[in-house]
Amino acid sequence: MEFALFCTRVNVLIVLLLALCSPCQFIQSPIDFGPLDLLQTTNTASLDFGRIHFNSPSAVLRPQSPKDISVLLRFLSASSYRKVTVAAKGAGHSIHGQAQALDGIVIEMDSLPSSIEIYREGQGEAAFFYADVSGGALWIELLEESLKLGVAPRSWTDYLYLSIGGTLSNGGISGQTFKYGPQISNVLQLDVITGKGELVTCSPTKGSELFYAVLGGLGQFGIITRARILLQAAPRKVRWVRAFYDDFHTFTKDQELLISMPELVDYLEGFIVLNEQSLHSSSIAFPAQMDLLPDFGTNGNSKVYYCIEFAIHDYLSKDTNVQQVVENVTRKMSYMPSYIHIVEVSYFDFLNRVRMEELSLRRIDLWDVPHPWLNMFVPKSGIEEFKDLLMANISPDDFEGLILIYPLLSDKWDTNTSAVLPADQVVYVVGVLRSAKPSAPACSGACVSDIVRRHRHVAEAAVGPRIGAKQYLPHHSSPAQWRGHFGRNWIRFATRKAQFDPLCILGPGQGIFQKTPLNL
Ligand SMILES: Cc1cc2nc3c(=O)[nH]c(=O)nc-3n(C[C@H](O)[C@H](O)[C@H](O)COP(=O)(O)OP(=O)(O)OC[C@H]3O[C@@H](n4cnc5c(N)ncnc54)[C@H](O)[C@@H]3O)c2cc1C
Ligand SMILES: *[C@@H]1O[C@H](CO)[C@@H](O)[C@H](O)[C@H]1NC(C)=O
Ligand SMILES: *[C@@H]1O[C@H](CO)[C@@H](O)[C@H](O)[C@H]1NC(C)=O
């Protein structure tokens, strides 16, 4: 045992020497250096969904077990290679290189054996279900496994091909968040390997400081190798409703009405309909003939619409008339008369709806393109002003993608986690989800940079005191901006960093902490 560990250390040392001292030297991969297979690189280690940053690591670890990760981090903590950074990479769906490690080591979490175990605890009324899931597993895998037993997580993301560890490092939000909180509010326990290489099992009652640090912690404190996720009985079907508005104020008022009825409504989102194309592309998974809206105006004088999307779970029980619930809810709403569509789909198809959009975009080569996205949390008090600010920086005619807008309730977020939210009780998510088209009219290079620049301008104006917004999936370019992002929680964040990753090895792609290089 001792001997094996010793060998591992020596072998890691050899690889690091090769990889770090001679960046130009070609090393054949895969390289087998005993128990830790470090690769020179892989096709994926410097790539993410954003396709804006492409930082290459010096080496890649494809761990076979959490122990491999612990061995690597223990070695880096103890050795004099203190310039080496490490980033866990889940499904690589970040926008700004957050899972990259320039000249460091990327740990590709998808190589860990995926394990999903579902448990039931307690008896009768008090019984509840949870799943123990490996950190690199995808939410779609958890959905498929849990549905076999008629249960499922309560809180989701729109897209399910994201890793458990990746979304728990941010928040994990979707149309269920107003009701159940984000995914980080639905975790019972975590296995984490800290920056010092310690494998810790933590929960709200045991090792709570690490538990809360890691949730929404942007990969700064440890690597999640296992998560215990709360489950509930899964509905069989879902009534899925879309209603249209031509007035922003009426749209948001109705959204706020719907989140005030959590006993009836199970999911609520909404989006801006900028043009006919955006209506079409956001409706691929929605099985209804969407009538065209009246008029999107002409160049320079565009008219936009808004769509509320809500859903009600159907357990196919004889005691509830879901159609009547839908009618009761829609009767209270103020959408444009007759602009409403109600469909019924399976729970699985509803949750996996973005996959259909992905497959459709892949067919026309519009998936693997740059994605200059901006996600903001905007307090209710500033949402009108933010919408105007955003629209002043967008031209609806050539906008490719989607703008999501929907409210959450901040009291469903645990303030002990590292996640950052504005202070209002009602907070809007605004997701500006743009794709850069590779062909006529193409948007590449300078065009993508221009969108990124305009988004930065919008974000910087919005985080000021007038609107008081915060970035979700944050990307900041200076230490001062990061301190502003965390606000009064900055001290807590930095203290947790000093405790769990004192050498600042983890999460370099976020650019929050600069590693102070010690001389070798
Ligand atoms: C098409 C699409 C749809 C999306 N929809 C939503 C949505 O509806 N709601 C929402 O909340 N988000 C959404 N996102 C954003 C998504 O949740 C984040 O980008 C998330 O980080 C992606 O997970 P990932 O596994 O790809 O993470 P990665 O990009 O691989 O990693 C993200 C960060 O987490 C760290 N990390 C990764 N794994 C671990 C781990 N096991 N332990 C510790 N740190 C780790 C990385 O180092 C990095 O800093 C969407 C993204 C895309 C591309
Ligand atoms: C719908 O509303 C009516 C009138 O308020 C009420 O009697 C009925 O129980 C409601 N139905 C459901 C299924 O909620
Ligand atoms: C979480 O924060 C609250 C205050 O917001 C505090 O009272 C509580 O003790 C904290 N819980 C843990 C486990 O740290």
The answer, yes or no, to whether any atom of ligand 1 lies below 6 A from the CB of 468, is no
| CA quadruple 487, 489, 490, 491: dihedral sign | positive
Which residue, chain included where needed, has tokens 């709806």?
353
pLDDT at 31 over 70: no
For position 161, what pLDDT does the model report? 98
Question: Could you give the CA distance from residue 132 to residue 154 in angstroms, rounded to a whole number?
Answer: 15
Q: Which of 103, 110, 144, 158 is catalytic?
A: 158
Lowest mean pLDDT among 49-53, 54-58, 301-305, 427-431: 301-305
The whole model's pTM is what? 0.93
The answer, yes or no, to whether any atom of ligand 2 lies below 6 A from the CB of 325, is yes
Q: Is 455 part of the annotated catalytic residue set? A: no
CATH 3.30.465.10 spans which residues of the chain? 116-233
Instruction: Answer yes or no: CATH 3.30.420.10 is held by domain 116-233.
Output: no
Q: Please state, rounded to an integer, the average pLDDT across all residues of the chain.
A: 91
Question: Could you give the CA distance from residue 500 to residue 218 in angstroms, rounded to a whole number?
Answer: 13
Q: What is the rounded average pLDDT of the residues 114-125?
A: 94
For position 295, what pLDDT does the model report? 83
Per-residue pLDDT reduced to its tens digit, 284-297? 899 888 777 778 88
In 47-198, DSSP assigns E strands to 59-61, 86-89, 105-108, 116-121, 128-134, 151-153, 187-194
pLDDT at 14 over 60: no
Q: Which atom of ligand 2 is nearest to the CA of 328?
A: 1
Peptide bond preceding 63: is omega within 30 degrees of 0, i.e. cis? no
Q: Is 108 part of the annotated catalytic residue set? A: no
Residues with a CB atom less than 6 Å from ligand 3: 204, 208, 415-416
Q: What is the rounded average pLDDT of the residues 435-450?
A: 89
For position 299, what pLDDT does the model report? 67
Four-way CATH pick for 2-109+499-510: 3.40.50.620, 1.10.357.10, 1.10.150.120, 3.30.43.10:
3.30.43.10
CATH 3.30.43.10 spans which residues of the chain? 2-109+499-510
For position 421, what pLDDT does the model report? 98
CATH superfamily entry for domain 237-471: FAD-linked oxidases, C-terminal domain (3.40.462.10)
Q: Is 269 part of the annotated catalytic residue set? A: yes
The answer, yes or no, to whether any atom of ligand 2 lies below 6 A from the CB of 328, is yes
CATH 3.40.462.10 spans which residues of the chain? 237-471
Per-residue pLDDT reduced to its tens digit, 366-396? 999 999 999 999 999 999 999 999 999 998 8
Residue 520 binned pLDDT confidence (cut-offs 50, 70, 90): very low
- CA 5, chain centre distance (Å): 36
For position 33, what pLDDT does the model report? 43
Ligand 3 atom 6, closest CA:
416
For position 82, what pLDDT does the model report? 65
For position 79, what pLDDT does the model report? 74
Ligand 1 atom 27, closest CA:
166
The answer, yes or no, to whether any atom of ligand 1 lies below 6 A from the CB of 159, is yes
Q: Which of 108, 269, 314, 501 is catalytic?
A: 269
